[in-house]
Structure 1
């Protein structure tokens, strides 16, 4: 989601202390082979294959999408070393807005893997994923997801003086609501694409929950993949007739206006060590 970054060097601190003996090296190789069979190692390997030719706006072929979805779907909280009673999932009485924890697993130019840990009422605000294909797996808990896609062929518009003053600061753009529902684990991973599937979304923790995210490619300011946050407004807040938009009244709730905003001041995401099985790169 662009708000999690590498927080620790995962190099084995004990590696340099191992005696250089044949049997020790043999054990080390066996350990690495065991690690490669872990679900997280399998996810890493699959991501590496699926996003090998990736780039901004490049969507993997359907068979690769399904392969990665299947691998992700099989991962459990135990596979990544998580339990619901961990401190990440507790609220602090002194905090008005629950703190979110990000566990960085892996990142390279082609893809990233990480886990967001949300206490009850924790919120990841509405944001986009420009040029990315994103897989999200709810590991445990109940989460409300609301997602949108832009209405194609309709450019941004400037609010008129007839509309509320608090929304006249910048342009707005019409988006269609794709998902607006609660999801409880276990459930299938969600997949969004650069131009459809709910590219802009907001997560709200109904209960303590964890979500494993795979982004291909990851956010990158130099490559123009910026994380943009949005405010959302009901369709009725704007005079759609100005743009000649005709939407049946019963469908109004399926459309909302989105307006870019600065990163919310109440969003606090802290990075910490990922404690699950180590990724063996290669």
Structure 2
């Protein structure tokens, strides 16, 4: 897909040129039909994220092209079934372990699958400078996401309502973008560097699996590192000069960076056992 073949120079009067073009088109169509869904996803990602630059969003037509590939993907396309051990419920008070299946990563994009047992949680985190596609392959998942309120700064002195104690919190105001349950089959969701719910949290209502595509991927040297947050109700903190209408308070929250990795997050890696991805 997306591979152009140079044609030899021909005389203007040479009619077979049209025939050759049609033949190549038919060959490309046959190749696409034979391609596995995960290979098609890889090929499309490679084209859509060819720039691989932070904060650069692909054109709308490329966004739709990639989304259309993800929208029709099924668990069996990546070798998943509910019988796999990743999806078994955790007994007792043990934090449910989330399994990550690594499909592919380059400096342009990454592809991977998060397998969550019931009650598994991926805490609130960000995706700086990235465009992210998330496709729920099966199960029911609650997604809560936020966008920053751009005209309110962070690192603000706040008053805690419960004790009226003035403390300094490294917080920033955000607005809820999504707060809903999603059940497969459903279309892929998309978030962008500056909107669409760049900070989000996944909670497994049932055992579920989500296929994530990030372009570009996380990279500490390039300033794209993952930050986790606590979300505090808007009414819990009073900040001078910051107000929202009463009816909108429930849709706003203060996000506070976590200084250490969340204690309620347990992620392990496992080999990807689905159809192979071929780099050609």
Query: Does TM-score exceed 0.5, indicating one fold?
Result: yes
Q: Measured at CA, do residues 168 and 105 of structure 1 come closer, stay the same or move farther in structure 2, by a change above 3 Å?
A: farther
Contact 1:77 1:83 in 2 (8 A): yes
Give distance in 1, aligned partners of 2:120 and 2:50: 34
Residue 44 of structure 2 aligns to a residue in which SS? Answer: helix
Give distance in 2, aligned partners of 1:207 and 1:82: 15
Aligned to 2:147: 149
Q: Measured at CA, do residues 167 and 88 of structure 1 come closer, stay the same or move farther in structure 2, by a change above 3 Å?
A: farther
Aligned to 2:169: 170
Query: Relative to total residues, which structure has the larger strand share, 1 or 2?
Result: 2
Deviation of 1:147 (Å): 0.1
Residue 40 of structure 1 aligns to a residue in which SS? Answer: helix
The answer to whether residue 265 in structure 2 is matched with residue 267 in structure 1 is: yes
- Alpha-carbon deviations, 1:185-230, whole Å to 9, x = none? 0111000000000000000000000000000000000111010000
Give distance in 2, aligned partners of 1:39 and 1:167: 55
Give distance in 2, aligned partners of 1:213 and 1:226: 16
Which of 126, 129, 143 in structure 2 is aligned with 1:128?
A: 126
Contact 1:35 1:278 in 2 (8 A): no
How many pairs were matched up?
248
After alignment, is 167-176 or 269-278 more displaced? 167-176
Deviation of 1:171 (Å): 1.0
Aligned to 1:227: 226
After alignment, is 65-74 or 244-253 more displaced? 244-253
Aligned to 2:195: 196
Q: Which runs of 5+ in 2 are unaligned?
A: 1-30
Deviation of 1:92 (Å): 3.2
Contact 2:139 2:208 in 1 (8 A): yes
Deviation of 1:247 (Å): 1.5
Deviation of 1:162 (Å): 4.7
Aligned to 2:76: 78
Superposed counterparts of 1:177-216, under 5 Å? 177-216=176-215
Aligned to 1:246: 243
Contact 2:159 2:166 in 1 (8 A): no
Report the TM-score when normalising by structure 2: 0.84
Contact 2:160 2:167 in 1 (8 A): no
Residue 169 of structure 2 aligns to a residue in which SS? Answer: coil
The answer to whether residue 113 in structure 2 is matched with residue 103 in structure 1 is: no
Deviation of 1:54 (Å): 2.3
- Greater Rg, structure 1 or structure 2? 2
Report the TM-score when normalising by structure 1: 0.84
Give distance in 2, aligned partners of 1:113 and 1:163: 43
Contact 1:80 1:276 in 2 (8 A): yes
Contact 1:144 1:205 in 2 (8 A): yes
Aligned to 2:252: 255
Aligned to 2:279: 281
- Alpha-carbon deviations, 1:125-165, whole Å to 9, x = none? 00000000000000000000000000012110333355567
Residue 265 of structure 1 aligns to a residue in which SS? Answer: coil
After alignment, is 81-90 or 113-122 more displaced? 81-90
Aligned to 2:216: 217
Q: Measured at CA, do residues 250 and 34 of structure 1 come closer, stay the same or move farther in structure 2, by a change above 3 Å?
A: closer
